Structure 1
Amino acid sequence: MAEKALEVKSLTKNIKNKVIVKDVSFSIEKGEIFGLLGPNGAGKTTIIRMIMSLIGRTDGSVIVNGYNLDTHFKESMSEMGAIVENPEFYKYMSGYKNLKHYANMATNEISEKKIEEVIRLVGLEKAVKQKVKTYSLGMRQRLGVAQALLHEPSLLVLDEPTNGLDPQGIREFRNYLRSLTKEGISVLVSSHLLSEMQLMCDRFAIIEDGSLVHISSIDLLNNQEELLQAVTFEVSDPAKAMELLKQHATGAEITESTDEQISLTVDKETTAKINRVLVENGIDVYRISVKATTLEDRFLELTGKDKQEVEDNAFIN
């Protein structure tokens, strides 16, 4: 039994003299949602297409649930299900008939029980007998996931799966992915919707200009004890507070100072120390505001992207 759902090693793609993807390596644990993040054109879709053998690799290897894509192509491909673009179906047929049609074309027999199982897993029991032309985009996405799961893959690969979904549809889709991981299925998902990926993923990798520039866990990002925080103190005497900070918080980075408040970048322990020093020296602390580090903050820090550019990209379909 393989320990990893997916291992990507030194994945590289050159087209003529241009490097599209350069020496990308990462792995995905079983039952994990792993995100590929980056702006449009960063190389996310190229990486996914190489993993799925939709395009060739210049260099590197792909191992799916222990099977090397080069030496055990059939076995490794059978371990993957994917939605690389918006799923297409016969719109005049019901969701059930579309799944049945796909099952009939599969290499291995897919039982009626399995079809019913995936329908239930993606929450389409009430709509599966309706024609696909009546489905919302979110329902078609779920039907696409059901189709991708019919042959019981260990890894589900999704490229920008929430494109075009409204906030409610995105939330529902996120919940469906979480239910899949409870069944032991791993998920590789690419997106440029940073706030959504922070809610969806267990770990993430940031891709920029075809290179992997950072890989980390969402838990670490959310753990304020491990990260610096943007902290604002609203105090009675900012000028005196500034003098005390210079004496007692030499490692703190002061980012802003006004007639009412002081903003710093500090860790959790230093925040408590500053508060204690201010109070002990007769300064009233009216409010302490903490801005948690977000995935967008980390993305901006690592890629140097302009904040407005990231916000604009977040709404490109």
Structure 2
Amino acid sequence: MTQYALEVNNLTKKIGKKLIVENVTFQIEKGEIFGLLGPNGAGKTTIIRMIVHLINRTEGKVVINGHDLDQSFKDAMGEIGAIVENPEFYKYMSGMKNLKHYMRMATREVSTERLDEVIRLVGLEQAIHQKVRTYSLGMRQRLGVAQALLHSPSILILDEPTNGLDPQGIREFRDYLRLLVNQGISVLVSSHLLSEMELMCDRFAIIEKGKLTHISRMNESNNMSHQTKQQVMFEVNNTEQAFNLLVNQNLGEERKVERGYLYASMDRETVARANQLFVSNDLQVYEISYIKTSLEDRFLEITNKEKKEESM
């Protein structure tokens, strides 16, 4: 059995002499949410459209749950459920009638039991017989997920799925995705909303000007090793004295006092030494905490580094 829900190798899209997407390669493991991050126009939607065969690839290979898109097109497409841009429905029909319409067009046979299961999964039991024109944007997004899941795909592909949703709708949508992943479905999601992707994804890739410039686990740089330096906050009863002690003992880097707290960049061993230093000098230490690097900070750090390397 294949390890990956999706494998993308050297995906390239060229229009005339212009490279829109260049040699993008990544894999999505089974049961994970994988994010494509990047500014508008970076090439995220083009990558997704090539994966779901809405546009042709210039070069590259796509394998979906072990099925090569070129060699086993029908089997490969049967593994995909997708929402590219906003889901569209017949607004004069009920949610149920829309889903039954899609059932008849599905690449795999869909049972009535599966229809009921999907409706429960996205939480539309109370509204499924109402006309779609009465649905909120969040409800239409959930109906779109239900439609994409009808044929039991192994991977769900979503392009900017939270556009237009209010904070409550975004949180509900995020919870639904995690529920799906817990049932073994993999998710590929693209967005430029870094704060939402940080809460949603297990791994992410950064796309810039059609190139994949970085890929890692969401919590990778937040786990502090013994050797890694990270910004630390100290809450003590005398920050000025604590600051001077660090300077005199040459402990930590980027030391500063801000809003009554002492900050410094140091590894774990140095944190322990700083704490011992404070206590031995009769300072009261109320709190020591590591400052978590946000996805926005990491995104800016990675993209700025790439720009510097390009300009050298």
TM-score normalised by the chain length of structure 2: 0.89
- Asked if residue 230 in structure 1 is aligned to residue 216 in structure 2, the reply is no
Share of identical aligned residues, percent?
64
Q: Distance in 1 between matches of 2:244 and 2:22?
A: 47
Q: Is the 8 A contact 1:238 1:260 kept in 2?
A: no
Q: Is the 8 A contact 1:248 1:274 kept in 2?
A: no
Q: CA 1:242–1:60 in 2, change beyond 3 Å: closer, same or farther?
A: farther
Q: Distance in 2 between matches of 1:258 and 1:151?
A: 55
Q: Which amino acid aligns with 2:86?
A: N
Q: Distance in 2 between matches of 1:259 and 1:150?
A: 53
Q: Show the counterpart of 2:99.
A: 99
Q: Secondary structure at the match of 2:57?
A: coil
Q: CA 1:123–1:225 in 2, change beyond 3 Å: closer, same or farther?
A: farther
Q: Secondary structure at the match of 2:153?
A: coil
Q: CA 1:257–1:109 in 2, change beyond 3 Å: closer, same or farther?
A: closer
Q: Is the 8 A contact 1:221 1:294 kept in 2?
A: no
- Asked if residue 247 in structure 1 is aligned to residue 249 in structure 2, the reply is yes
Q: Distance in 2 between matches of 1:155 and 1:180?
A: 10
Shift of 1:184: 1.2
Q: Which amino acid aligns with 1:112?
A: T
Q: Is the 8 A contact 1:241 1:278 kept in 2?
A: no
- Asked if residue 53 in structure 1 is aligned to residue 49 in structure 2, the reply is no
Gaps of 5+ in 1: 306-317
TM-score normalised by the chain length of structure 1: 0.88
Q: Secondary structure at the match of 1:292?
A: coil
Equivalent residue runs for 1:125-274 within 5 Å: 125-225=125-225, 228-234=229-235, 236=238, 238=240, 241-242=243-244, 244-245=246-247, 247-249=249-251, 252-254=252-254, 256-257=256-257, 261-274=261-274
Q: Distance in 2 between matches of 1:299 and 1:160?
A: 18
Q: Show the counterpart of 2:310.
A: none
Q: Show the counterpart of 1:311.
A: none
Question: Is the deviation greater in 121-130 or in 209-218?
Answer: 209-218
- Asked if residue 43 in structure 1 is aligned to residue 43 in structure 2, the reply is yes
Q: CA 1:281–1:18 in 2, change beyond 3 Å: closer, same or farther?
A: farther
Would you say how many aligned residue pairs link Structure 1 and Structure 2?
303
Q: Which amino acid aligns with 1:27?
A: Q
Q: Secondary structure at the match of 2:249?
A: helix
Say what the alpha-carbon RMSD is for the aligned residues.
2.3
Shift of 1:214: 1.5
Q: Which amino acid aligns with 1:24?
A: V
1:32-88 deviation per Cα after TM superposition (whole angstroms, max 9, x unaligned): 111111111111111111111111222221110001111111111111010011001
Q: Secondary structure at the match of 1:304?
A: helix
Q: Show the counterpart of 2:80.
A: 80
Q: Is the 8 A contact 1:238 1:261 kept in 2?
A: no
Q: Which amino acid aligns with 1:158?
A: L
Shift of 1:298: 0.7
Shift of 1:223: 2.8
Q: Which amino acid aligns with 1:120?
A: R
Q: Distance in 1 between matches of 2:107 and 2:240?
A: 72
Q: CA 1:257–1:107 in 2, change beyond 3 Å: closer, same or farther?
A: closer
Question: Is the deviation greater in 296-305 or in 59-68?
Answer: 296-305
Question: Is the deviation greater in 235-244 or in 194-203?
Answer: 235-244
Q: Distance in 1 between matches of 2:277 and 2:144?
A: 58
Q: Distance in 2 between matches of 1:162 and 1:89?
A: 17
Q: Show the counterpart of 1:300.
A: 300
Q: Distance in 2 between matches of 1:270 and 1:76?
A: 53
Question: Is the deviation greater in 202-211 or in 77-86?
Answer: 202-211
Q: Is the 8 A contact 2:78 2:107 kept in 1?
A: no
1:108-143 deviation per Cα after TM superposition (whole angstroms, max 9, x unaligned): 332212211111111111110111111111110010
Q: CA 1:98–1:258 in 2, change beyond 3 Å: closer, same or farther?
A: closer
Q: Is the 8 A contact 2:279 2:285 kept in 1?
A: yes
Q: Is the 8 A contact 2:243 2:255 kept in 1?
A: no
Q: Show the counterpart of 1:275.
A: 275
Shift of 1:181: 1.1
Shift of 1:21: 1.6
Shift of 1:276: 1.7
Shift of 1:13: 1.7
Gaps of 5+ in 2: 306-312
Question: Is the deviation greater in 137-146 or in 217-226?
Answer: 217-226
1:8-33 deviation per Cα after TM superposition (whole angstroms, max 9, x unaligned): 11112222222222221111111111
